[in-house]
Amino acid sequence: MIFKNAELVLKDKLVRADITVENGKIAAIGNAGGGEAVDCTGLTIFPGLIDMHVHLREPGFERKEDILSGSRAAVKGGFTQICCMPNTNPVIDNKVVVSYIKARAKEAGLCKVHPIGAITKGQKGEELAAIGGMKAAGAVALSEDGKSVADTNLMAKAMLYASDFGLKCLCHCEDRFLAEGAVVNEGYNATVTGLKGSLRAAEDVMIARELLLAESLGLPVHICHVSTYSGVQLIREAKARGVKVTAETCPHYFTLTDDAIKTYDTNTKVNPPLREEKDRLAVIEGLKDGTLDCIVTDHAPHHEDDKRVEYDLAAFGISGLETSFALSYTMLVKTGVLTLPQLARKMSFNPASVLGLEGGELKVGAPADLTIADLGKKWKVDPNEFVSKGKNTPFGGREVQGQVIYTVVDGGIKYSLARGNRA
Amino acid sequence: MDRKDLLGLYDLAPEEIGEILDLGLTFKAALKRGEKEHSILKGKSAVILFYENSTRTHTSFELAAKFLGASVVNISVATSSVQKGETLVDTGKTLDAMKNDFIVIRHPMGGAPKLLAETVKAHVVNGGDGMHEHPTQALLDMLTLKEHFGRIEGLKIAILGDVRHSRVAKSNLYGLTKLGAEVRLFAPKTLMPDGLEREGAIVCSSREEAVEGADAVMGLRIQLERQKAGNFPSLVEYAKYYGVDENILHYAKKGAIVLHPGPVNRGVELTSEVIDGETSRIEDQVLSGLAVRMAALSLLNGEGKV
């Protein structure tokens, strides 16, 4: 199969060329001869996008999403690999659940799904989960997801033990005392809506703790969904002094501020909360200067029943897989913050290298994971068109630019805009 | 006033607030004459849906609707059942299906009345939602001030106490500043929320600064559990540094009045001497409450004449 006449996003530059795929691998990049071909004139090929922070809800919350529906949303959004967080029921804290998810993802047969194991059993923060067993079954990282391990000593031991198995801890940073009962960012908008806010410090003190633990132990650590200007600065300073830290943020943190909560739209309820303009600008600056390595969605699909309630009672989270690429392109590349190769790093190369996954780069011999987009195409976000079960997005009605036309996984077209999902 | 619901003063135009106050003054004068029978809401029904305990506000809304001629049903739901009971949206649909014309809602969570208003055809009146707004309380405070001073514009109002958790303070700030009053706020830093300067408040660093030259001093109710949450060391200390006593009232303008949304914790927000003293307008506020709620219900119904 040949993908003809496209603009290719290589690691450091753009080239116009064909990609020849054989046996699921990229066999050649350059001028291809004849053969079965997909005409990609006017389209741009990225290395298959990787979302290292996704909630697939299965097992346990299939009403919100399952592995098949989540995989469909992923390939529609251009993602060839996704990593799923452990806050399922049962929690991903042992090899059986890891194996179950891998098997279900294989049945779905769309994108590659990599489970992330919990740090502690049942995410209770008391005893280490079965880290070795989960690694053997295919877990690619550990995360307590949705909370921090409150016991600092246990967190230090988790980092140490995980390193024996080559696993990193992906840290959701939240001081549970500072964030107690909070549903939004502390500030003017919290005051006028009467909703309980949490200080930036609720996130920052835990970012600082994880950075100090990593520094003290000489181990790598990854900081999840950074939302504060001060958190970006903590990570920047840690990187400057040699701490082995990587970090991610999400499209909603560089696109929205907490002004969006004023309508009490529960689709704006997310954890960490939407912050203020100086945070949004700092997140963009962090992406630009390399402080923030990855763009992830924190895809958190919910049933309408979980959102059509009082703001305080609504579930946290945004269904993000189907809007991430377009929002990132629109907000970061169109505005000149990132070049296309830089965007590809944030959404593919860096997540692959943080987790040690195959892929992340268009090069001969790599898996033929390709995201093929029409960067000129403008479209309007319509949650009713989401294939995810979660229609919960604060971006409904927003005009964006950049649309995924094909998603190719191991050489097979798993999504085409014209034809929808293909198994 | 051309709107379906009364959810807060943040969104109201000064003219709308003025309209409610003017009609409120008319109703208050009528009430003073003992006139309680009106037919403005004859043939209409109102549900008083309270998810929080309240004697004063509940009774006030109930009497207001009854004096206007409406049939009134009371529903009290325990706060604890907000989470496990029927959803607010489903409750709203049920009440709407019964062809209710008004729903007065009090709820422990900010934004709940808005969610209800978006769900139902009935007029929704916010009887207090979480830390958000309590518009009719602010309107009754403004009515009391307007009757006493003959105006709102140019008045200096000091509001002291737990501003952070107070929907009363916020609604008063929005309403009073819209009508040209100056609002000074003073609270322990633990109980002062961010950003009210943006709404025109003067955030003061001492009681004296807040009360200096004030025309009215308003104490806010403190929930006793705020002490356990670490906001201040003891009620004694709270009363000493943040309460309203006769000494602090010496800083106010001569002839200044004292207001409180009630119920008062005697000796905490206000000393008993202040509560029972001649500057207190706390009982007058209660009658203003009845009148202003009658005005609000009438205007939502599209009737501005008594």
Q: Which region among A120-129, A295-304, B23-32, B74-83 has the lowest average model confidence (pLDDT)?
A: B74-83
- B280 forms bridges with which residues in the sheet? B258
Q: Which residue of B has its CA nearest to A199?
A: B194
- Please, what is the end-to-end C-alpha distance for chain B in angstroms? 15
Average pLDDT of span A392-409: 98
Provide the pLDDT for residue B82: 78
Cross-chain residue pair B115–A190, CB shorter than 8 Å: no
Average pLDDT of span A384-404: 98
Half-sphere exposure of A339 (CA within 13 A, CB side): 9
A376: which 2 tokens?
């000129």
Q: What is the mean pLDDT of chain B?
A: 95
Q: Which of A186, A197, A264 sits opposite B111 (nearest CB)?
A: A264
Q: Which of B112, B131, B170 sits opposite A310 (nearest CB)?
A: B112
Q: Which of B10, B89, B129 sits opposite A192 (nearest CB)?
A: B10
- φ, ψ dihedrals at B90, nearest 5°: -65, -40
In-domain check, residue B4: no
Residues 6+ apart with CB under 8 A from B153: B179, B180, B181
Same domain, B155 and B68: no
Residues of chain A positioned with their CB less than 8 A from the CB of B83: 313
| Domain CATH for A319 | 3.20.20.140
Average pLDDT of span A185-206: 98
Side chain identity at residue A121, one-letter code: K
Min distance A256 CA to chain B CA atoms (Å): 19
Cross-chain residue pair A264–B114, CB shorter than 8 Å: yes
* Spatial separation of the C-alpha atoms in residues A28 and A19, rounded to whole Å: 6
Model confidence, pTM: 0.95
pLDDT at A423 over 60: no
Side chain identity at residue B152, one-letter code: I
Min distance A181 CA to chain B CA atoms (Å): 12
Same domain, B210 and B91: no
In-domain check, residue B114: yes
C-beta of residue A404 within 8 angstroms of C-beta of residue A76: yes
Concatenating the DSSP letter of every residue in B136-171 gives HHHHHHHHHHHHHHS-STT-EEEEES--TT-HHHHH
DSSP state of A19: E
Half-sphere exposure of B25 (CA within 13 A, CB side): 15
| Residue carrying the six token digits 């970012």 | A207
Cross-chain residue pair B110–A312, CB shorter than 8 Å: yes
Cross-chain residue pair B112–A194, CB shorter than 8 Å: no
| Residue carrying the six token digits 């976000």 | A381
Average pLDDT of span A363-385: 98
Same domain, B207 and B78: no
Same domain, B278 and B291: no
* Spatial separation of the C-alpha atoms in residues A70 and A48, rounded to whole Å: 17
A-facing residues of B in 64-83 (CB < 8 A) are 82-83
* Spatial separation of the C-alpha atoms in residues B256 and B254, rounded to whole Å: 6
In-domain check, residue B8: no
Residue B125 sits in which domain range?
14-131+286-300
In-domain check, residue A7: no
Q: Which residue of B has its CA nearest to A192?
A: B132
Q: Which of A59, A67, A138 is nearest to A98 (CA)?
A: A138
In-domain check, residue B34: yes
Residue A309 sits in which domain range?
48-360+387-397
Min distance B121 CA to chain A CA atoms (Å): 17
B-facing residues of A in 169-198 (CB < 8 A) are 186-197
In-domain check, residue B124: yes
Same domain, B83 and B121: yes
pLDDT above 70 as % of chain A = 99
CB contacts < 8 A, A to B, total 64
Provide the pLDDT for residue B81: 76
Convert A250-266 into a string of H (helix), E (strand) and C (coil): CHHHHHCCHHHHHHCCH
pLDDT above 70 as % of chain B = 99
Average pLDDT of span A321-338: 98
Total domains in the fold of chain B: 2
Same domain, B155 and B250: yes
Average pLDDT of span A147-158: 97
Q: State the burial class of residue A396 (Cβ atoms within 10 Å of its Cβ: 0-12, 13-18, 19+).
A: middle
In-domain check, residue A421: no
**Contact with chain A for residue B194, Cβ under 8 A:** yes
Q: Which of A306, A393, A292 is nearest to A337 (CA)?
A: A292
What would the pLDDT profile of B214-269 be if each residue is shown by its tens digit? 999 999 999 988 998 999 999 999 999 999 999 999 999 999 999 999 899 999 99
What would the pLDDT profile of A343-353 be if each residue is shown by its tens digit? 999 999 999 99
Side chain identity at residue A355, one-letter code: L
pLDDT at A156 over 70: yes
Q: Which of B107, B132, B195 sits opposite A188 (nearest CB)?
A: B195
Total domains in the fold of chain A: 1
Cross-chain residue pair A313–B107, CB shorter than 8 Å: no
* Spatial separation of the C-alpha atoms in residues B183 and B155, rounded to whole Å: 8
Min distance A3 CA to chain B CA atoms (Å): 50
Say how many C-beta atoms besides its own lie within 10 A of residue A181's C-beta: 8
Binning pLDDT at 50, 70 and 90, where does residue B83 land?
A: confident
| Residue carrying the six token digits 């007029």 | B123
Q: What is the mean pLDDT of chain A?
A: 97
**Contact with chain A for residue B149, Cβ under 8 A:** no
Same domain, B107 and B26: yes
Provide the pLDDT for residue B302: 86
Provide the pLDDT for residue B248: 96
Average pLDDT of span A133-140: 98
Concatenating the DSSP letter of every residue in A81-117 gives EEEE-S-SSS-S-SHHHHHHHHHHHHHHTSSEEEEEE
In-domain check, residue B261: yes
C-beta of residue A249 within 8 angstroms of C-beta of residue A283: yes
Catalytic residues of A: 298
pLDDT at B306 over 60: no
Min distance A219 CA to chain B CA atoms (Å): 37
* Spatial separation of the C-alpha atoms in residues B5 and B123, rounded to whole Å: 5
For residue B204, CA distances in Å to A368, B227, B252, B269 come to 65, 22, 15, 17
Cross-chain residue pair B130–A195, CB shorter than 8 Å: yes
Provide the pLDDT for residue A422: 47
Same domain, B197 and B240: yes
Say how many C-beta atoms besides its own lie within 10 A of residue A19's C-beta: 25
Report CA A126 to chain centroid distance, whole Å: 27
Cross-chain residue pair B111–A308, CB shorter than 8 Å: no
Rg (CA), chain B: 19
Q: Which of A188, A305, A309 sits opposite B198 (nearest CB)?
A: A188
Helix (H, G, I), strand (E, B) or coil at A389: coil
In-domain check, residue B81: yes
In-domain check, residue A146: yes
What would the pLDDT profile of A16-60 be if each residue is shown by its tens digit? 999 999 999 999 999 888 888 999 999 999 999 999 999 999 999
A338: which 2 tokens?
């990132």
| Domain CATH for B49 | 3.40.50.1370
Same domain, B63 and B170: no
Same domain, B96 and B145: no
Q: Which residue of B has its CA nearest to A180?
A: B229
Same domain, B87 and B189: no
Helix (H, G, I), strand (E, B) or coil at A125: coil
Same domain, B98 and B19: yes
Residues 6+ apart with CB under 8 A from A212: none
**Contact with chain B for residue A308, Cβ under 8 A:** yes
* Spatial separation of the C-alpha atoms in residues A136 and A126, rounded to whole Å: 23
Residues 6+ apart with CB under 8 A from B106: B49, B50, B51, B52, B54, B57, B58, B127, B128, B129
Half-sphere exposure of B210 (CA within 13 A, CB side): 28
DSSP state of A267: G
Q: Which of A191, A308, A311 sits opposite B196 (nearest CB)?
A: A191
Concatenating the DSSP letter of every residue in chain B gives ---S-B--STT--HHHHHHHHHHHHHHHHHHHTT-----TTTT-EEEEEESS--SHHHHHHHHHHHHTT-EEEEEE--TTHHHHSS-HHHHHHHHHHTT-SEEEEEESSTTHHHHHHHH-SSEEEEEEETTTB-HHHHHHHHHHHHHHHS-STT-EEEEES--TT-HHHHHHHHHHHHTT-EEEEE--GGG--TTGGGGT-EE-SSHHHHHTT-SEEEE----THHHHTTSSS-HHHHHHHHSB-HHHHTTSPTT-EEE--S---BTTTB-HHHHHSTTB-HHHHHHHHHHHHHHHHHHHTT----
Report CA B134 to chain centroid distance, whole Å: 4
Q: Which of B33, B30, B65, B32 is nearest to B47 (CA)?
A: B65
Binning pLDDT at 50, 70 and 90, where does residue A420 land?
A: low
In-domain check, residue B189: yes
Min distance A386 CA to chain B CA atoms (Å): 24
